[in-house]
Every structure is written in structure tokens, then in C-alpha cells.
Amino acid sequence: MNLTLKVWRQKGPADKGGFVTYEMKDINHHMSFLEMMDVLNERLEREGQEPVHFDHDCREGICGSCAMHINGRPHGPSKGTATCQLHMRLFNDGDVITVEPWRAKAFPVVKDLVVDRSAFDRIIQAGGYVSVNTGGVPDANEIPVPKKIADEAFNAATCISCGACVAACKNASAMLFVSAKVSQLALLPQGKVERKNRVERMVAQMDAEGFGNCTNTQACSVECPKEISQDFIAMMNREYIGAKFTSDNV
Amino acid sequence: MSWLTQTFSSSIGRKFLTAITGLFLIFFLVGHVTGNLLLFKPDEGRAFNEYTQFMTGNLGIMIVRYLLYAAILAHVIITVLLGIHNRKARPVGYTKQVPSPHVSWSSRNMGILGTLVLVFIVIHMANFWYSLKWGVVPTVNYAEAGEIKNLYHVVQSSFSELWYTALYVVMMVFLAFHLMHGFQSAFQTLGLRHKKYWPIIRSVGFWFSIIVPFIFALMPLYIYFFRNINH
């Protein structure tokens, strides 16, 4: 198949940037989107040009590195997949495909399609961990966790921190990401101990990073490659307001 | 910053205030639409005027009324602050952006819809509330109630104008869309989302958003077509 790619090129954080159009010939429709980008980069290198910079790592949808806004949607048109699992068979011969980086104040562009997502790391550093001493391995069934709760915590934990929620949100809000990280720990016994401090600190860090506010459009869940539910945002709202009124932090 | 100011200046705290004030305004709509049903009573506005007299003279109602003004102001100020912050959160926009599937139009346009509803509230209050409080309103004499202000006459003469009637009907459509997202969104923000109750909240919200503005829109239409002073 033949395609026209309009790719965002930007030399560095200070550069203004702009779109460059590339004609792609004979693209195999079994390729993933990233493999198609590899084909482009190999060609650019052969021609002595700077290849398109983009983040990628596992290419099997679990690392959350790949981040491209494809044809107006994060990770492209496919439901529940990251860019690496988006296949070219979803496009038609002759399509014009626009590729942009995530757009958010908290995710500044580093180069081309690469954005700095360390704001997410700082939110995790603010409280997305368990620091109490949980001791040795307990006997089986010593701490009963109902299957339903375990499943819910697991669903939250499937978040790969790719930032598609921020990219999809009209307000560039990080609520879905933060709520998944708050919930996965708040649901389980070891995480419950520090739940109040955790949610207060993670939300404060989220606000400090300059993300927008949630207006409940639910676009984040629709675009999330792991289809993280809106239930977690509601859970975080409960956790936060509850913590603010009952924690010891004055 | 004290913990309280910190709470209500945080993103979730501000959203919490938006939801609380929004729900209060939703409750107000229930009262407002119920009371105004008296406009449909074919008694030349007597019941409506007596109701107006009761509403302006009662201390309890007065307190609720000031709470209402405060809620409207707070809802507007907080959402404007949130809106400004949201715009700053994405200084460089996308060249191409396609709305995600299953995302409602009203949820993406709450700012515009809210502004239109606010414009409506200002027009509405300038016409009825202002004239009742400071304007010259003709009076009417009822045997038991005595001489009271004839607000029904003001309502009747306003809605005898086609453009004014049309304006109200159109504005109710905007209100319906604002409520369509606002109702369920308030519950989500308060964290009141549960497998059992969420479908109920959604359908109650949907029908509330249609029925209440529809009844409101019927009032100017009824007066224009059946109680028109120019006809």
C-alpha cells in the first residue's frame, strides 16, 4: 500500500517545529505502525537525512514507551492498543496520515515525536509506592484478598504510564493515570496503610506539574491502550476528599 | 496555606465545589419548575401572584435565595478558574484532532453551554427579578390577599413577544445539554459511582435534563399561544 505521512519534525525543545510530508511506497499491511516508521527512518538514513525520533521499547504493548498522536487520536484509531500494536491493515491505500507528539504543558517536546514524560515519574515518586515494612512472605490465605478486589487492583495496575490519557483529554489532565496508580495500592492490604498520605501527595504533585483538570468527558478511558475505567477516577476523588478531611496533615 | 484552602485550591477540591454547587442548582431547578407550574392555572395569574408574594416575603426562602445567588457565583467563578487552568495545560494544540468515540458533545462544550446558560440567567433576572424588586410593577387587588404586585402581568407581556418567547425556548435547549453532562458529572466528581447506582444516576440525569427544560420551555409557549395580550 502507498501512504502519505505528515510527520511533526522539531529539532529540539526551543525549535518551532513543523510538519514534513513523506511519501511511503509499497508498505506491507502486516507491519505495525512502528515498523512502518522504521522503514521511513532507514530510508532517511540512506538519504543522509536525520531520522524521525520517537520513543519505543518492548513493541508488545506493555512498556508504554511508544507515544504518537495518529490521525487525531492517541495511539491511532484502534481500540485498546498502543502504537506498537497498531497495524497498517487498519489504513487504506492512499491514506494521508498525520503523526504528532503528545501535546501538554507537562509533556514538553524533546525532539520530533519524543516528549518528556518525567512528570509521571515525579508523581510516582511523590507517593506511588509502599514504604511500610511488610515483613516476610506470609502464609497462604493469611491475608485474605477477595478475588473481586484483586481483579480490580490488577485492572488499575495494567496502566503502562504511556500518557495517552493526557494526550486524549481536552484539558491535558492526568487524572486517569494518577487514579490508576492511587487505586492499585489503595485496594490492597499493604497499600491501604499509607493511602491517605499517598493520594494527598500524588494529587499535589499532579497539580504542580501543570496538568489540566478533569471534566469527565471520559475520552481518556476510550483512548487508553489498557482501557482503564472511569471507576478509578471516582475512587480517587473519594480517596482524596476523604483523606483531606481525615488525615493528620494540617 | 491551611489544609482547608489547600483542599479547595487543588484540582479535585475545585471540581468538588463545582459539583456541590451544580447539584444545589439542580435542586433549585426542581423547586423553580414546580412553583412556576402555577402559570398554567387558568385564573388570570392569581395563584402565581400569590405564590410570588409568598416567595418574596418569607425569611426562610430569602436565606435559600441568597444561598442560590452564592451558588451561581461560586459555580461560575470556579469553573472559569478551572477553564483558564485547562487552557494553559495545553499551550500548543494538535493540528488534527478527532473526538474520541462515545464522548458526548455536551461534555466537550460545557464552557460554551455554561456561558450561554449564564447569559440566560442574566437576561431572565434583569426582566423578572429586577423589575419585581426595583422596577415599577402594576398591582392587583385580591379580596383576601389584598393589594399585591402583579408579576403575572409582567410575564404575560414579556411572552406576548415572539422573539422573547423564542429566546427562552432556545435557551432551554442549551440548559438541557448543560444538564445532560452536568448531572452525571457531578456524581462522578463526588466519587458517587457504584456498579448498582451508576446506571440509575445516568438515566435519571438523562430524563431530568429533558423533562425539566421541556416544562420550562412550555411556559413561554403556553403564554404566547394562549394568554397573549396582543392577540
Q: Quick one: closest CA in B to A206, which residue?
A: B11
Same domain, A93 and A143: no
| CB interface of A with B, residues 54-113, below 8 Å | 69, 71-73, 98, 100, 103-106
Question: A228 near A156, Cβ under 8 Å?
Answer: yes
Closest C-alpha to B103, from A135, A216, A115? A216
Query: Is B110 part of the contact surface with chain A (CB cutoff 8 Å)?
Result: yes
Question: A78 near A65, Cβ under 8 Å?
Answer: no
Q: A70 - beta bridge partners?
A: A73, A99
Choose one of A100, A126, A154: the last residue of a domain: A100
Measure the CA–CA gap between A129 and B111, rounded to whole angstroms. 37
Please provide the DSSP assignment of A40-73 as one string: HHHHHHHTTPPPPP---S-SSSSS-----EETTE
What confidence tens digit (pLDDT) does each residue in A76-109 have? 999 999 999 999 999 999 999 999 999 999 999 9
Nearest Cβ partner for B11 among A100, A207, A250 = A207
Same domain, A74 and A125: no
Query: Is B193 part of the contact surface with chain A (CB cutoff 8 Å)?
Result: yes
C-alpha cell at B125: 433576572
Can you give the pLDDT at residue A134? 81
Contact A69 B185 (CB under 8 A): no
Contact B189 A216 (CB under 8 A): yes
Estimate to the nearest angstrom the gap between the alpha carbon of A42 and the chain centroid: 27
Measure the CA–CA gap between A183 and A194, rounded to whole angstroms. 12
Query: Is A171 part of the contact surface with chain B (CB cutoff 8 Å)?
Result: yes
* Share of residues in chain A with pLDDT > 70 (%): 100
Asked if the structure places residue A113 within a domain, the reply is no
State the sign of the Cα–Cα–Cα–Cα dihedral A135, A136, A140, A145: positive
Asked if the structure places residue A112 within a domain, the reply is no
Measure the CA–CA gap between A163 and A211, rounded to whole angstroms. 11
Same domain, A26 and A80: yes
Can you give the pLDDT at residue B2? 87
Asked if the structure places residue A71 within a domain, the reply is yes
Work out how many CB contacts closer than 8 A connect A with B: 129
Same domain, A224 and A134: yes
Amino acid letter, A149: I
Asked if the structure places residue A155 within a domain, the reply is yes
Please provide the DSSP assignment of B40-75 as one string: GSTTTTHHHHHHHHHHHH-HHHHHHHHHHHHHHHHH
Can you give the pLDDT at residue B191? 95
Opening angle at CA B86, ends A105 and B188, nearest 5: 120
What confidence tens digit (pLDDT) does each residue in B12-54 have? 999 999 999 999 999 999 999 999 999 999 888 899 999 998 8
Choose one of A48, A65, A100: the last residue of a domain: A100
What confidence tens digit (pLDDT) does each residue in A151-207 have? 999 999 999 999 999 999 999 999 999 999 999 999 999 999 999 999 999 999 999
Cα–Cα distance list, A127 to A46, A137, A163, A183, A200 (Å): 47, 23, 18, 12, 9
Same domain, A179 and A233: yes
Measure the CA–CA gap between B20 and B18, rounded to whole angstroms. 6
Q: What are phi and psi of A215, to 5 degrees?
A: -115, 20
Measure the CA–CA gap between A48 and A108, rounded to whole angstroms. 27
Can you give the pLDDT at residue A143? 87
Same domain, A60 and A133: no
Q: Which band of pLDDT confidence, cut at 50, 70 and 90, is reported for residue A136?
A: confident
Asked if the structure places residue A110 within a domain, the reply is no
Q: Quick one: closest CA in A to B98, which residue?
A: A72
Domain span holding position A75: 3-100
Measure the CA–CA gap between A104 and A167, rounded to whole angstroms. 7
Question: A31 near A84, Cβ under 8 Å?
Answer: no
Q: Which band of pLDDT confidence, cut at 50, 70 and 90, is reported for residue A7?
A: very high
Can you give the pLDDT at residue A105? 97
Same domain, A149 and A230: yes
Asked if the structure places residue A62 within a domain, the reply is yes
Question: A57 near A63, Cβ under 8 Å?
Answer: yes
Measure the CA–CA gap between B68 and A157, rounded to whole angstroms. 42
DSSP-H helix ranges across chain B: 3-9, 11-36, 46-57, 59-88, 105-108, 110-124, 130-133, 151-158, 162-189, 198-226
Q: How big is chain A by its Cα radius of gyration, in Å?
A: 20
Same domain, A135 and A235: yes
Can you give the pLDDT at residue B56? 85
Strands laid side by side in the A3-9 sheet: A18-24, A3-9, A96-100, A69-70, A73-74
Q: Which band of pLDDT confidence, cut at 50, 70 and 90, is reported for residue A139?
A: confident
Can you give the pLDDT at residue B138? 86
Measure the CA–CA gap between B23 and B25, rounded to whole angstroms. 5
Q: What are phi and psi of B146, to 5 degrees?
A: 80, -155
Q: Tell which of B9, B87, B94, B113 to mutate to test the A interface (max A CBs under 10 Å).
A: B94
Average pLDDT, chain A: 95
**Residues of A with Cβ-Cβ distance to B88 under 8 angstroms:** 105, 210, 212
Cα–Cα distance list, B23 to A78, A217, B28, B206 (Å): 37, 18, 9, 15
Task: List, for chain B, all residue ranges whose pLDDT scores fall below the cut of 70.
Answer: none
Place of cell 482524596: A240
Q: Quick one: closest CA in B to A68, which residue?
A: B94
Amino acid letter, B25: L
Query: Is A176 part of the contact surface with chain B (CB cutoff 8 Å)?
Result: no
Same domain, A22 and A125: no
- Res. A135: pLDDT tops 80: yes
First to last CA, chain A: 62
Q: Quick one: closest CA in B to A109, which residue?
A: B92
Asked if the structure places residue A164 within a domain, the reply is yes
**Residues of B with Cβ-Cβ distance to A217 under 8 angstroms:** 103-104, 107-108
CATH code of the domain containing A79: 3.10.20.30
Query: Hey, is B9 helix, strand or coil?
Result: helix
Can you give the pLDDT at residue B136? 81
Same domain, A10 and A123: no
DSSP-H helix ranges across A174-228: 175-186, 189-192, 195-208, 219-223
C-alpha cell at A45: 538514513
